[in-house]
């Protein structure tokens, strides 16, 4: 499906280390600004315990989880919207993603410099958001000028339809606010075509130190409080501990993280959170030798789902058997669910629900 989440932050916040943890890609994570210039791209599996539950019933030869793409985008600095620190290039990379993961430094480390010589998570977060707001304001004001010019040359119907939206956006941005945080009704595809950054959904990763794992320090608490006020999720991840754990087997990793007070990997929580803020759902196809999870946008139909699987299936679509995961598990498979009357037979316009199990019949 090509859904992209971009990892963004100031230099030396641990963005590339986090990317390495997520993708095991081993990209450079050096202690100097702009180590990452071109965005590194990784494809990651979305953690999904449901696959194992389904597999216990149907015993497939292969299990394939759904995936997301993650971009590691170079560090921004003050003035990025004006081109400071390769800002234009980096902002261009952010425009290509569907959701943003802001990485904010909360850890103390004398051997890792801070670009502004002070560990202040809330200030760092506000610097990045201000750069995105200013970049958007420049786009919106240029668009406004073009629309006004269109009014003068007689393109009144098109221009009047745009001007009200543009002026509302301009007022929000002039107040220093992100469009996504205001409740404004945003046309997702339109915002992307205009290159608007603050209309993208986002979450925040607090890169915490070892002391924060057992008992949160004031720096993390300040960022968490900021998140609550903004209505944004803040996910604490100790990249130092998780990096050490990444070299272990899955069982050893869980034991190691648990021994230092981490009950669930922050990376796993982050991947799932990215999936959620992108407004995605999962459906499963348990037919044949492969059990597979698929990603689709909320509101997607069976016809859309068929197209994801194969264009031939979409073109030859006849009907589909659909059952909720709960019913599938409780009745031990599609046949048991049919006998219990829990399977729906639906056409192409049926809107999929999260965790539906689907069997498509086609010519």
Residue 96 maps to which CATH number?
3.40.50.300
Residue 15 lies in a domain: yes
Has residue 294 been placed in a domain? no
Could you tell me if 114 and 229 lie in one domain?
A: yes
Amino acid 150: pLDDT: 73
CATH number at residue 304: 3.10.20.30
* Residue 293 maps to a domain: no
* Pair 207, 347 in one domain: no
**pLDDT, tens digit, for every residue of 112-136?**
767 777 889 999 999 999 989 998 9
Q: Does 224 fall in a domain?
A: yes
Q: Which two tokens stand for residue 209?
A: 């130190």
Q: pLDDT tens digits for 209-231?
A: 887 787 777 889 999 999 999 88
Instruction: Give me the residue label for tokens 């997702």.
Output: 188
Does the residue 292 lie in any domain?
A: no
Cα–Cα dist 108/208, whole Å: 8
Q: What was the pLDDT predicted at 36? A: 41
Q: Are residues 212 and 307 in the same domain?
A: no
Q: Are residues 198 and 254 in the same domain?
A: yes
> In the chain, what is the greatest distance between 2 CA atoms, to the nearest angstrom?
70
Same domain, 254 and 306: no
Name the more confident of 89 and 189. Answer: 189
The parent domain of residue 53 ranges over 4-277
Is the pTM higher than 0.85?
no
Return the minimum-mean-pLDDT range out of 140-154, 173-187, 196-210, 289-303. Answer: 140-154
Q: Is the pLDDT of residue 87 over 70?
A: no
In a domain? residue 81: yes
How many independent structural domains does the chain possess? 2
Q: For 183-201, what is each residue's pLDDT tens digit?
A: 888 888 889 889 999 999 9
Residue 286 lies in a domain: no
Q: Could you tell me if 332 and 238 lie in one domain?
A: no
């Amino acid at each position: 499906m090509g859904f992209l989440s971009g990892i963004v932050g100031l230099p030396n916040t641990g963005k590339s280390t986090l990317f390495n943890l997520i993708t095991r890609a081993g990209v450079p994570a050096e202690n100097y600004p702009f180590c990452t210039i071109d965005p590194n791209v990784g494809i990651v599996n979305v953690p999904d315990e449901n696959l194992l539950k389904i597999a216990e019933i149907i015993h497939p030869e292969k299990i394939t989880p759904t995936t997301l793409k993650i971009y590691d985008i170079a560090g921004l600095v003050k003035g990025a919207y004006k081109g400071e620190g390769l800002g234009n290039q980096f902002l261009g990379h952010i425009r290509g993603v569907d959701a943003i993961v802001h990485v904010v430094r909360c850890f103390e480390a004398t051997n890792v410099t801070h670009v502004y010589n002070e560990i202040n998570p809330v200030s760092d977060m506000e610097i990045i958001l201000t750069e995105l707001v200013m970049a958007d304001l420049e786009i919106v004001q240029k668009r406004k000028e073009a629309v006004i010019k269109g009014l003068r040359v007689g393109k009144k119907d098109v221009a009047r339809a745009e001007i009200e939206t543009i002026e509302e956006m301009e007022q929000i941005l002039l107040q220093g606010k992100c469009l996504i945080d205001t409740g404004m009704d945003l046309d997702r595809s339109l915002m992307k075509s205009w290159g608007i950054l603050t209309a993208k959904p986002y979450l925040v990763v607090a890169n915490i130190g070892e002391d924060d794992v057992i008992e949160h320090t004031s720096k993390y608490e300040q960022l968490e409080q900021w998140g609550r006020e903004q209505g944004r999720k803040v996910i604490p991840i100790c990249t130092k501990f998780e990096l050490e754990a990444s070299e272990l087997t899955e069982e050893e990793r869980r034991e190691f993280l648990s021994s230092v007070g981490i009950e669930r990997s922050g990376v796993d929580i982050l991947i799932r959170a990215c999936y959620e803020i992108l407004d995605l759902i999962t459906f499963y196809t348990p037919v044949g030798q492969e059990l597979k999870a698929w990603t689709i946008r909320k509101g997607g139909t069976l016809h859309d789902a068929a197209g994801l699987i194969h264009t031939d299936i979409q073109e030859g679509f006849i009907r589909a058997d659909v059952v909720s995961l709960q019913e599938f598990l409780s009745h031990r498979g599609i046949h048991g669910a049919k006998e219990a009357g829990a399977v729906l037979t639906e056409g192409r316009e049926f809107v999929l629900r999260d965790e539906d199990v689907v069997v498509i019949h086609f010519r």
